[in-house]
Amino acid sequence: MNTQALEKLAEQLLSGELSIGQFVGRLHGNGIADIGEAQVDLDRCRRCGFPEVVFAQGKTVEAIEKIFHILIDHGIDVLATRMSAQQAAELGRIFPAGSYNPLGRTFRIPLGEKPPEPAGNVAIVTAGTSDMPVAEEARETALWTGADVTLIQDVGVAGPHRLTAKLPLLERADAVVVVAGMEGALPSVVGGHVACPVVAVPTSVGYGASFGGVAALLGMLNSCASNVTVVNIDAGFKGGYVAGLIARNAAEARVGRKD
């Protein structure tokens, strides 16, 4: 349980909203909130580094609303992915502090008066403009993790000089997410220029022989660049999450060295 959640519990105890027994029960609970439609994992941040994220696709607005309320009540910053514009319109009226990214299909509700200090540096690189929906999902996810994010667009291998001009922006990155479709060559090229992990995200962008992103996926899995790892097709969330975790751990290591 994080500090915000503990403070909220203490306030509820002091105000009489919770009895001592209820306070102790929540404090030592199993970290699962049963809301009927979902079993919300409230302990995931302690175990895995970041809280549970809501996959909105296929869920009703009512179910998402319940999950959001539980997360907010426990002081957890909300991130939902694969949210439709219709879902976002209804939830935006219920949670006016939320922000919807229509391109990345993400919905975020930040808590607190000011954002925390950036937890490391993540760069998001796209091969083409058509890859931007997946890149935006990765960018929103990395921002949610607390990372400072740099977006570099449209630097695919058809014009390699475009990437060369942007290389100084990659020097401070703790992790680079490279989003590419077609033949998926860009992560290998980026990997040959940076001294940090490269998280390759294949997209389903391409002509028939790309097989909906399978060609890009296989190309990335067979990368000759030793620092390239790969997530699933169109999995911008996974790329942003992994990069955010790497960046946060790198930032914590830098603080530790200073101490």
Q: What is the DSSP letter of 206?
A: S
For the stretch 35-73, pLDDT in tens is 888 888 888 887 888 899 999 999 999 999 999 999 988
Token pair listed for 114:
């000011």
Q: Are 155 and 163 in contact (CB under 8 A)?
A: yes
What does pLDDT average to over the chain?
90
Task: Output the pLDDT for position 2.
Answer: 58
Give the pLDDT of residue 27: 63
Q: Which 3 state secondary structure label does DSSP give 111? A: coil
Q: How far apart are CA 236 and CA 220, in angstroms?
A: 15
pTM (2 decimals)?
0.85
Looking at the predicted structure, is the pLDDT value of residue 209 above 80?
yes
Interval 100-141: pLDDT, tens: 999 999 999 988 655 567 789 999 999 999 999 999 999 999
Rounded to whole angstroms, how far apart are CA atoms 200 and 187? 6
Mean predicted confidence (pLDDT) in 139-156: 96
Dihedral of CA atoms 99, 104, 106, 108 in degrees, nearest 10, equals -40
| Sheet strand arrangement including 148-152 | 148-152, 121-126, 175-180, 198-202, 228-230
> Residue 32's pLDDT is what?
81
Q: Which pairs count as long-range contacts for 26-34, CB under 8 Å and 24+ apart, including other chains?
A: 27/1, 31/1, 33/70, 33/74
Domains of the chain: 31-109 (no CATH), 121-254 (3.40.50.1970)
| pLDDT given for residue 120 in this prediction | 93
> Chain centroid to CA 6: how far?
24
